[in-house]
Structure 1
Amino acid sequence: MSNITLVNSEFCSMGRWIVSAAANKLDYDFWDQARFVIEFSDSKNLIEQSELITEKLMRDSSDASLKNDLSNIQKKIMNKILDTTNSDNIVIHDFGIEKYIPKDNTVKKVFIYNNDVNAKCSRVTYEPRYKNLTDDSLRQSKLVYEDSLRRMYFRIGNNDDKWNDVNHYDLCLNTANLPKSQCSDILVSFLGKPSMSEDEFQKIVIGRYGDVERD
């Protein structure tokens, strides 16, 4: 049985950096699309196909054949990752689909976002395909479009539309209010050993507020 953390993040919210750093600190097995392509060079077309189909579904979300094709690709991707890893702790960023994880595993879900549109807007050009965008309105439209793609990919795999719904996740981090390093720190505590033990917490709280605060 493995502990599997699925992380979704908004475009330009710095989620990939945060998750990668936290996984590295904990020595957890970290997967994103870039690693998948490197590890399975013969399966690079799976990612390309999934992106192409997702874009087509953005234009016609009622196409049952496309939905089925994307679901099959998602299943292949998840199976490749789960069959390859020998770690008890796995973190998958942006393309992990809960539906295809065997029920004997423990799944945690994290969402990373940024509600400062201007901050995200300035980062759009980090993506090579958008490096020539200088108009803020176009950058904002790309923010919306990229997140819509993520939502569509998630919707097909999980049969719902809960991408970015805070009630769906176990932890949500807003990078508009928290530095990247602090977000990683919080994620490390959430996934691994917390910096404050339960005994230490109880000692402080009971000492200040009395036994009434004891669980």
Structure 2
Amino acid sequence: MKTRHLMLASLVAAFAAAPAMAQQNTIKLGVANVQPHSSASDFSGPFTPGGISVEVRNKTTSFFSYTREINDQWDVELALGDSPTHDIALKINNPGLPASVQSMSGQVAATVRQVAPVLFVNYKFLEKTSPWRPFVGVGINYTNFDKTHSTAAGDTLNGGPTSVSLEDSVGLALQGGVTYRINNQWSLSAALITAQVKSKITTNTLGIERSADIKFRPRVFTLAMGYSF
């Protein structure tokens, strides 16, 4: 919890440190399709057979960002949104396990919410008056996983009531997109965001802990309406 507060404070401080001489601010509101593209090692721990892993499924949620312009080509953007809750599905790949266990492959074993603010520095191509302006950005992503919940399937597989936790992650983030200027105040934008996200998922069932390393190669597609002032 302390790490989460420190990272959020750092992102806010960095954003606030953008030059006060900014020419324009823009608020964007829209939708985001979050595709985690996760891959995980097999779970390890006491009384844990091989071939049991998980994958995190896609989710669509709302998108929000606040941008402060530095000059005609550069801006600083804090990208947020309504934190999505993802399903964590089982992957069973061990023919030696009982059929009842193998049949659980694909079932949702847990759910987890991700809180993932991203601070970008963006470069915008073409002139400020151009209707279409492609842009690219580089930044830092902080991902916190909370509100985890083990489902009935997860409890059954683990052998009893189970708690689930995932470690926080900090990594590089990149984005590319295009903005269409409707007029001086309103615009439409579309972007693809990706980031480096690594974590460790741990389950605890009656004191027995099992864990797996999990990597994400997320692709977040956003479509948003912007208002500049």
The higher radius of gyration belongs to: 2
TM-score by length of 1: 0.26
TM-score by length of 2: 0.25
The structure that is strand-richer by fraction is 2
Report which structure shows greater RCO (CA 8 Å, sep ≥6). Answer: 1
